[in-house]
Amino acid sequence: MKTLVAYYSRKGSNRFLAEKIASALSCDIEAIRPRLNVFILFLMNIHLGNWPLKKKIGEYERIILCGPIWMGRFIPPLRSFIKKYKEMINKLVFVTCCGSTYARKDEKFGHGLVFQEVKNILGDKCILCQAFPVGLVLPDDHKEDPDAFMKTHLNDENFKGEIAGIFDAFLQKLSKSE
Ligand SMILES: Cc1cc2nc3c(=O)[nH]c(=O)nc-3n(C[C@H](O)[C@H](O)[C@H](O)COP(=O)(O)O)c2cc1C
């Protein structure tokens, strides 16, 4: 299935994840580049959209969109991406390396609410959502510690054990959804 991984990352974890997915699938990858890449303005919901993607979205059967969650929100660069390309997207998979755990996904700052929003916007086009909470790479006593997960970024050294298993299961889900 012809696939493009499109990602936005501020601190690197979602870039790492996006590159990992693109490498596993041997598919194209492109960064989403906001016209105004100013974090504080994103948090204030001030966003001027993204630069157009170099790749042609309509040529792909599947888009894998990857990026973080901030303040329980579907962040402006990702939201703008979907808004702009909605009609051209055939199938979309949303992936996030976020702070919220699976147990707390439905709380105010949980990834579950963002997943619901993506599904509401895209309907049946959204075929899968997958979270990789960054706490998965932390020791058990720090898994839910906000200070620890804010300072932790995915990399080749820590992407092993539980998170690597979840990644393999995710790849299987992807292949089943083809
Ligand atoms: C200001 C801020 C707010 C955040 N809010 C949330 C949140 O509401 N829910 C969540 O799951 N993670 C939250 N996070 C954690 C990020 O989603 C997480 O650190 C992510 O891995 C960062 O991705 P990046 O390294 O690709 O930029 C927040 C991070 C920051 C910096």
- Residue 106: the pLDDT is 97
CA 41 to ligand 1 center in whole angstroms: 15
Q: Which helix (H) or strand (E) holds 31?
A: strand 28-31
- Residue 143: the pLDDT is 82
Residue numbers of the chain with a pLDDT score lower than 70: none
Q: How buried is residue 30: exposed, middle or buried, by Cβ count under 10 Å (0-12/13-18/19+)?
A: middle
Instruction: Enumerate residues lining ligand 1, CB below 6 A.
Output: 9-14, 68-72, 97-100, 109, 111, 134, 150, 153
Q: Which atom of ligand 1 is nearest to the CA of 100?
A: 11
Q: What's the whole-model pTM score?
A: 0.97
- Residue 31: the pLDDT is 98
94: tokens are 């949303």
CA 23 to ligand 1 center in whole angstroms: 24
Rounded to whole angstroms, the maximal C-alpha distance in the chain is 46
Convert the pLDDT of each residue in 101-130 to its tens digit: 999 999 999 999 999 999 999 999 999 999
DSSP state of 50: B
In the chain, % of residues over pLDDT 70: 100
Q: Which atom of ligand 1 is nearest to the CA of 149?
A: 19
C-alpha–C-alpha distance, residues 15 and 146, integer Å: 21
CA 1 to ligand 1 center in whole angstroms: 30
- Residue 135: the pLDDT is 95
- Residue 146: the pLDDT is 83
Domains of the chain, start order: 3-176 (3.40.50.360)
Q: Output the residue whose Cα is nearest ligand 1's atom 15.
A: 99
> Helices then strands (H, E): number in the chain?
6, 7
